[in-house]
Structure 1
Amino acid sequence: MAYRDFDTSPLSRRSLLRGGAWMTAGAAMSGLPLGGAAMAQGAAARWPSVSSMVNKYVAEGKVANMAAALGWGDKDPLLIAKGTLVLGGATPVDMDSLYRIYSMTKPVTGMATMMLIDEGKLGLDQPLAEVLPAFSNMKVQKTYDGSVTDLVPAERPITIRQLLTHTAGLGYSIIQKGPIRDLYVKYGVVPGQVTRLPIPGLGREEAIRGLDKFANNLAQLPLVLQPGTKWSYSVSLDLLGRVIEVASGMSFDEYLRTQIFEPSGMNSTFFRVPKSEVARFTTNYGIMGGMPLPLDPAPASIYLDDPAFPFGGAGLVSSPRDYDRFLKMLLGYGTIDGKRVMSEAAVKMGTSNLLPETASTKGTWVEGQGFGAGGRVSNGAYGWGGAAGTVAFVSHQANLRASLYTQYMPSEAYPIHAGFPEAVMKDLAAMMGA
């Protein structure tokens, strides 16, 4: 199937939460030195292409703001930022501004899963049904996105590896069409939120409340593909939230907070934005007719309410400083500021290609590349993007971490997911004297 054959209407459902346009900068980063004396230069001078991109988008009024954080090794990040929290506002964005990172939540959930695998509480190739028995006897659509009654038995069990790599055969309401999508909506298996506003064409589907109920409802629905056969963007990272709960004995959000966020010094990453932090929360915009219109105003954001459950695939709000710390921890092979958060083995495995040998990527966003624990893997780089214009990656080969933040939907309205890594590559090539 053609995974790039998306609706072109503004704010099409299938474009809202995906992060699939991310592309790696790893090839150009391979073998780069740490930076040396050039670190003394200002951020804009050091990264002219990135700086130009940030300035251009804001100056042309395409976005209210844009911020890029780039860091070498365990050094503090450099920030390139322009614009304000809201169009026409007075408060400039900085390292502590809050952004909806949507699918950049997936690598966080992926790494949480890797920690439990490392501890022996889960197995990479463990059948999901051993953790969640409701997934024991799955049925599969005979025709992709076709009939939801013309089904065949699953030929193999869903595994944890398949959930990490979007190869479990699960669907996604932002991807699927026809009766299977209708079933996902009917059963409340729609793990994401965008706005309180009744925007035409956006859809007002509500997720069922409770991660346990989400998992149980999902188990009742047919798979869209045979497990282990094809990469297909899905709700699998949201389902892993429930797997993490059962394996750890903790609620999913509590596990992330106590095992990743607090140990990594991330104090500005939330599933719900506290009222005390609204003053640094950005507004999200919908691009309609080429113009940015307020889609989720910060003072009245849907993120000020408790979500139906903590969405492990697209639920987090974070700051450039916080997400950079997550990347810094990964770049340090599990350590940050001298403190170990994950084992080196868990990071190495999670940032490596975990795709099942039986799974095809032909015609997908990741064709010709690998996929790790919730993120793309290519040429030594690991990362993913978010539906509202965020993108982040680490390259262990280059000892570099890089992330970009802005807020607009749909993500394909502007070529930012591809443009940011390209700008990074261009600047890296200049550093190398190419």
Structure 2
Amino acid sequence: MALSVKFEHYAATAAVSPHGCWAALFLLVLSGCQSWTFTRDSELLVSSGKAETVETHAFALAEGQGMVGTLAAVDSQRDDTLSDLARHFGLGFTDITIANPGLEPWALADNQPVLLPVQFILPEAPRKGVVLNLANMRMFYYPRDQRVLTFPVGIGRDGWNTPLGLTKIVAKKANPAWTVPQSIHREHRLLGDPLPKVIPSGPDNPLGNYAMPLGFTGYLIHGTNKPYGIGMQVSHGCVQLYPEDVEVLFGQVSVGTPVRIVHQPYLAAWDRDMLYLEAHGPLEKWRGQDKKLQADARARLKKLAEEKNAVVDWVRVDAVLNRADGIPTPVLLDGPDLVALAADALKVRRPERLYGQPEVGELTDGDWSVVIGSLEGEMDAQKLAAMLNHLGPQIPARKVEKDGVFQVVAGPFKSAKETRIMAKRIKSSFDLEATPIKPLANR
């Protein structure tokens, strides 16, 4: 049976993705709780184009400026995933997948061109403190120095939606412990995965290393021990950031910083002499309002165009709204289309190793492991291995061919007990049987 068929029952409860059940399943597996220093480069070196570097997080902001950043592109290497590229280049999973709808997110080809939409129209909101736009799962922080810092986020999944409105940061906690809410206790008991009352700081804590409780009771901005859920609806309502991003935000904000949460799927702004539209599909909670939201977007474009006596190409507006790929696109007559934008994107250099990209240790005859068979073919095996490697915590896995049949072998594991735990995780997360393999000396 094909893996995509096995996973169909997850799609009804997960956010819709252009890549179907694989992304839906991965979203559920990642579900969790409610000075600028990077190990990676915050500026990306350009190999061709009109600039030497591309900024991904911090942008100078002039008075009245409505859009920041630039469209970029990079060539992948074999065994890259869109998740790896997204994290390194300051994007979330949804950012990069909707901008590259023709690519398989878990099995990229070597030298595959990948668009990096590190260009953003700012939300319509006061530029003070933190502004979080749920529709594109992106946070904008406005310090008092004519800049904006922006980070991708993970937010509440359907049924556990992150609330809208104005609140503030009421505390800052480094190395927080997590007191598990009763609602999450009940959910995990039903899944056969009971949790302790309190999870101390450390690698098993879904809050990560930093937490900032909000004035909305029970909601926090925090890090995560499952970084590949950033850019998805994966939490119980909390706002999650990559570990490296939450460290930056934690060092910048103070207690009392205002936090405004909005849902704006359609954004418009002038940049130089061109009017741009950035479109995202509304989240499930607001999907029934999409006709009104699109009508509001058209009214906003009409008003902005009239300010400069410009002529809007309404056919292109419809195309951008329907495409909903998150790429700011010109919508005036004779403006460049998506093909031209992609061709003109700044080509950035892929580093020798992407930040946070999982590594798979060598597997020897002296190690415990598990084998997952019954896969349809090489692509299913490659995708499953990639997803296991991107769990939190990682289950190291690789694709293996034996007698013309592709399997996934996960390991190394230290003991029979750890091997049984990993087999149980694979069964509960993917509904696949994982057969334990003893070390050669124990067979």
Q: Give yes or no for TM over 0.5.
A: no
TM-score range, shorter chain: under 0.3
- Normalising by structure 2, what TM-score? 0.23
Query: Which one scores higher on RCO, CA 8 angstroms, separation ≥ 6?
Result: 1
Higher strand share: 2
Where is the helix percentage greater, Structure 1 or Structure 2? 1
